[in-house]
Chains A and B, each alone.
Chain A
Amino acid sequence: MKNERKFDARPKVIGTHKFVDDYHYDGMIYGALIYSKVHHGKIRKITYPNDFKLSEFTIVKLEDIPGKILIPEPETDQPFFADKEVFFYGQIILAVAHPNKNILNNFVKKIKIEYEELSAITDIKETLDNKENTFGKQIIIDHRRNVKVEKNWLKTHSVYYTPHQEQAYLETQAMIAKYDEQNEEMFILGTMQCPFFVKEAVETILGDKIKSVQVETSEGIGGGFGGKEDFPNLLAGITALLSFKSKLPVKIVLDRSDDITITTKRHPARIEVETYTDPQTNKIRKMNVDYRLDAGFYQTLSPVVLSRGVLHASGGYNIEDVYIHGRLIRSNTPPNGAFRGFGAPQAFFAIESHIEKIASELKIESYQFRKINIFRKGDEFPSTQKISEDNLFDCFESIVEKSDYLTKYEKYKKFNQTHKDKLGIGLAIGYHGGGYTGNGEKVLDSEIKIKIDKKAIVTIYISNVDMGQGAHTTLAQLFSETIDHPFELTNVHIPNTKICPNSGPTVASRTIYIVGNMVSDLARKIKKDFGFDNLKNFVKQNKQIFPKEFSAKYKPDPNISFDENTYQGTGYKDYSWAACAVELYYHADTYQIELLNCWSMLDIGHVVNPKIAVGQAEGGVLQALAYGSSEFFYKKGFGRMHGFTDYTLPTTMDIPKLFIDFIHTDNEIAKGLGEVPMDYPAPAVRNAFFNATGIFIDEIPLIPETIFHAMKKEKKL
Chain B
Amino acid sequence: MKFYKPDNLNELLGYINNLENKFYLLAGGTDINVQIKNGFINDEEIIYINHLDELRNIEDSERELKLGTLVTFAEILNSDLISNNFPFLQESLKNFASPLLQNMATIGGNIANGSPTADVLPLLLVLEAKLELVSSNSSRVVEIKDYFTGYKKTLLKSDEIIKNIILSKDKYHLFTKKLYKKVGARNALTIAKAAIACLIKTNNQVIEDFVIAAGSLNEFARRLYRVENYLIGKKFSELDYTEIETLLRKEITPISDIRSDKEYRFQVFYNLLENFLTV
- From A257, A591, A637, A648, contact of B268 by CB (8 A): A591
Find residues 547-594 in chain A having any chain B CB closer than 8 Å to their own CB: 588-592
On whether the beta carbons of B186 and A653 are closer than 8 Å, the reply is: yes
Chain B residue at minimum C-beta to C-beta distance from A256: B37
Tell me, yes or no, whether A47 is within 8 Å of chain B by CB: no
Binary contact readout A459-499 vs B (1 if CB under 8 angstroms, 0 otherwise): 00000000000000000000000000000000000000000
Q: Contact between B258 and A654 (Cβ–Cβ < 8 Å)?
A: no
B258 touches A638 (CB 8 A): yes
A55 in contact (CB, < 8 A): no
Query: Counting CB contacts under 8 A, is B191 at the interface?
Result: yes
The verdict on B236 contacting chain A, using a C-beta distance below 8 Å, is no
Bin chain A's interface residue count. Answer: 20 to 34
A619 lies within 8 A of chain B by Cβ: no
Is A703 interfacial (CB 8 A cutoff)?
yes
Q: Which residue of B lies closest to A626 (CB)?
A: B186
Q: Check A704–B188 contact: CB distance below 8 A.
A: no
Residues of A within 8 A of B264 (CB): 591, 704-705, 708-709
Cβ-based interface call for B263 (8 A): yes
Please give me the residue from chain A that is nearest to B276 by CB atom: A589
Q: In chain B between 245 and 278, which residues have their CB closer than 8 angstroms to a CB of chain A?
A: 256-261, 263-264, 267-268, 271-272, 275
- A130 CA / B266 CA spacing, docked (Å): 36
Decide: B39 and A708 in contact? CB cutoff 8 A: no
CB-based contact A590/B271 at 8 Å? yes
CA distance A607 to B186 in the complex (A): 34
- Separation of A630 and B186 alpha carbons in the complex (Å): 8
Chain B residues with Cβ under 8 A from A639's Cβ?
258
Contact with A along B105-148 (1 / 0, CB 8 A): 00000000000000000000000000000000000000000000
- By a CB distance below 8 angstroms, the chain A residues around B271 are 588-590
B185 interface neighbour in A109, A703, A708, A712, Cβ under 8 Å: A703
Main secondary structure of the interface of B (DSSP, over half): loop
Is B174 an interface residue, CB under 8 A from the partner?
no
Separation in Å of the A157 CB from the closest CB of chain B?
Answer: 28
Interface residue B89 (Cβ < 8 Å from any Cβ of A): no
| Shortest distance between the CB of A254 and any CB in chain B (Å) | 14
Q: Verify if B52 is at the interface (C-beta below 8 Å from A).
A: no
> In the assembled complex, how far is the CB of residue B276 from the closest CB belonging to chain A, in whole angstroms?
10
Assess the B272–A590 pair: CB atoms within 8 A: yes
Question: How many angstroms from the CA of A590 to the CA of B184 in the assembled complex?
Answer: 10
Contact with B along A695-717 (1 / 0, CB 8 A): 00000000111001100100000
Judging by beta carbons under 8 Å apart, are A645 and B191 in contact? yes
- Is the beta-carbon distance between A646 and B259 smaller than 8 angstroms? yes
- Taking a contact as CB atoms closer than 8 A, the residue among B187, B257, B275 that contacts A638 in the complex is B257
A residues in contact with B263, CB < 8 Å: 708-709, 712
Chain A residues positioned under 8 Å from B260 (CB to CB): 705
Please determine whether A638 and B256 come into contact, CB atoms closer than 8 angstroms: yes
Q: A650 and B186 in contact (CB under 8 A), knowing A704-B264, A705-B261?
A: yes
Instruction: Indicate if the CB atoms of B188 and A708 lie closer than 8 Å.
Output: no
Asked if B190 is an interface residue, CB under 8 A from chain A, the answer is yes
Contacts of B38 in A (CB 8 A): 257
Q: Smallest Cβ distance from A685 to chain B, in angstroms?
A: 15
Asked if A371 is at the interface (CB within 8 A of a chain B CB), the reply is: no
Q: Which of A109, A589, A639, A648 has the most CB of B within 10 A?
A: A589
Contact with A along B34-75 (1 / 0, CB 8 A): 100011000000000000000000000000000000000000
Q: How far is the CA of A709 from the CA of B186 in the complex (A)?
A: 19
Please determine whether B189 and A648 come into contact, CB atoms closer than 8 angstroms.
yes
CB distance from A566 to the nearest CB of B (A): 44
Chain B positions within 8 Å of A635 at CB level: 258
CA–CA, A654 to B188, complex, Å?
Answer: 8
Q: How far is the CA of A590 from the CA of B188 in the complex (A)?
A: 16
A709 vs B268: C-alpha distance when bound (angstroms): 12
Does A596 interact with chain B (Cβ within 8 Å)?
A: no
Query: Taking CB as reference atom, which chain B residue is nearest A712?
Result: B263
- Chain B residues lying within 8 Å of A592, measured Cβ to Cβ, are 183
Query: Which chain A residues lie closer than 8 Å to B34 at the CB level?
Result: 645
Of chain B, the residue at the smallest CB distance from A707 is B264
| Contact residues in A for B183 (Cβ distance below 8 Å) | 590, 592, 704
Instruction: Say how far B216's CB is from chain A's closest CB, in angstroms.
Output: 13
Could you tell me the distance between the alpha carbons of A705 and B266 in the complex, rounded to whole angstroms? 11
Bound: A646/B184 CA distance, A: 11
A629-647, CB under 8 A of B: which get 1 and which 0? 0100001011101000110
Q: Are B187 and A589 in contact (CB under 8 A)?
A: no
Look across to chain B and name the residue whose beta carbon is closest to the beta carbon of A654. Answer: B186
Q: Does A109 lie within 8 Å of B39, measured CB to CB? A: yes
Distance in angstroms from A461 CB to nearest chain B CB is: 41
The CA-CA distance from A589 to B267 in the complex, in Å, is 9
| Bound complex: CA A689 to CA B113 (Å) | 39
B58-100 vs A, Cβ < 8 Å mask (1 yes, 0 no): 0000000000000000000000000000000000000100100
Q: Is the CB of A648 within 8 A of B186?
A: yes
Interface check A652, CB cutoff 8 A: yes
- Contacting pair B275 A651 (CB below 8 A): no
Pick the contact of A590: B190, B257, B258, B268 (CB < 8 A). B268
Chain B: residues with CB nearer than 8 A to chain A? 34, 38-39, 95, 98, 183, 185-191, 256-261, 263-264, 267-268, 271-272, 275
Q: Could you jot down 13 A-B contacts, CB within 8 Å? A: A592-B183, A630-B186, A637-B256, A639-B258, A648-B186, A648-B189, A650-B186, A651-B187, A651-B188, A651-B189, A705-B260, A705-B261, A705-B264
Q: Which 8 A-B pairs have the closest CB atoms?
A: A653-B187, A638-B258, A589-B271, A651-B188, A648-B185, A653-B188, A705-B264, A708-B264
Given contacts A638-B256, A708-B268, 7 further A-B contacts (CB under 8 A): A109-B39, A591-B268, A638-B258, A648-B186, A651-B187, A653-B188, A654-B188
